[in-house]
Amino acid sequence: MMKTDLPTEDLNPQTSSAKLPWNPWWAVLFVIVVYFLSQLIGQLAVSLYPQLQHWSPTQTEQWLSSSLWAQFFYVCIAEAFTVWALWFFLNYFTQRKVNWQAIGLRRPRWSDPLAGLAMLVPYFITYIAVFNVCQKLFPHLDVNQTQQLGFDNVAGVGPLIVTFISLVILPPFVEELLVRGFLYTTLRGYIPKLLAALVASAIFASGHLQFGSGAPLLWIAFIDTFILSLFLIFLREKTKGLYASMTLHALKNFIAFMSLFIFHVH
């Protein structure tokens, strides 16, 4: 276990100036490593199934690229690993345990979902305004490029439920824990809140550029998620917890889910 010379601080999430007992740049490195490692572990775990079935390379590639269940299990494994890695860090990285409440996972309140819902329209208005400005400043910005979600040809109640869980339930919960909870909470104890919000949001948005997908970098998604993250951090600060930001994040993903898979708007 790593020893720390940091003084003991109040780790109550109500105390916005509380310092978590590790170097903030360890938190940045941890988030980046976990982001890539979770994807790698998810891919390796899912690829075991075709090997156990003794499928040919062609069958394997087709299953991994087109199977709804392959994508679902990939998401579940990647998200589960992320939560486990975060739990391990909180409990074993320092000489004392840091509970989930210290990063914002306090007891939920009835006002949390209302706060998240209240930020939905301001977020969309801000995004549209920034989007229009970026179009003028960067005329070559590809605004029609779509994000590769990995869920294609989804039809039927069962596949829709699986896709809903994969896109609307799991990512908002895990990403809020990791980014607005762990990363932002760590940074704000050591650097000004505005700078902490910008750094955390830039890291979060960078994860949506689709590195390694073979497609051009998805800058329109970077702009969108960067703005979204600022609103999520605002909710994190105002509510002293993560449930309001989880609500806003889930609502945003739900709208995208309805647009893509129910109304088929592309």
Q: pLDDT per residue over 106-123, tens digit each? A: 999 999 999 999 999 999
Domain for residue 9, yes or no? Answer: no
The pTM score is 0.89
The domain tally of the chain equals 1
Domain for residue 3, yes or no? Answer: no
Are the C-beta atoms of residues 89 and 28 closer than 8 Å to each other?
Answer: no
Structural domain span for residue 64? 24-105+112-262
Q: What are phi and psi of 57, to 5 degrees?
A: -55, -35
Q: Between the CA atoms of 132, 167, 66 and 44, what dihedral angle is there, to the nearest 10 degrees?
A: 110
What are the Cα distances from residue 245, in Å, to 7, 95, 204? 30, 30, 14
| Most confident among 139-148, 222-231, 257-266 (mean pLDDT) | 222-231
**Residue that is written with structure tokens 């993903």 in the block:** 253
Domain for residue 13, yes or no? Answer: no
Domain for residue 69, yes or no? Answer: yes
Domain for residue 17, yes or no? Answer: no
**C-alpha atoms less than 13 angstroms from C-alpha of 12 in its C-beta half-sphere:** 3
Domain for residue 126, yes or no? Answer: yes
Q: pLDDT per residue over 144-178, tens digit each? A: 777 777 777 777 888 999 999 999 999 999 999 99
Distance, CA of 218 to CA of 216 (rounded, Å)? 6
Q: What are phi and psi of 194, to 5 degrees?
A: -65, -45
pLDDT band for 131, please (50, 70, 90 cuts): very high
H-type alpha helices, 93-192: 111-118, 120-137, 157-164, 170-175, 184-188
Domain for residue 178, yes or no? Answer: yes
Domain for residue 18, yes or no? Answer: no
Supply angle C-alpha 266, 261, 225, rounded to 5.
65
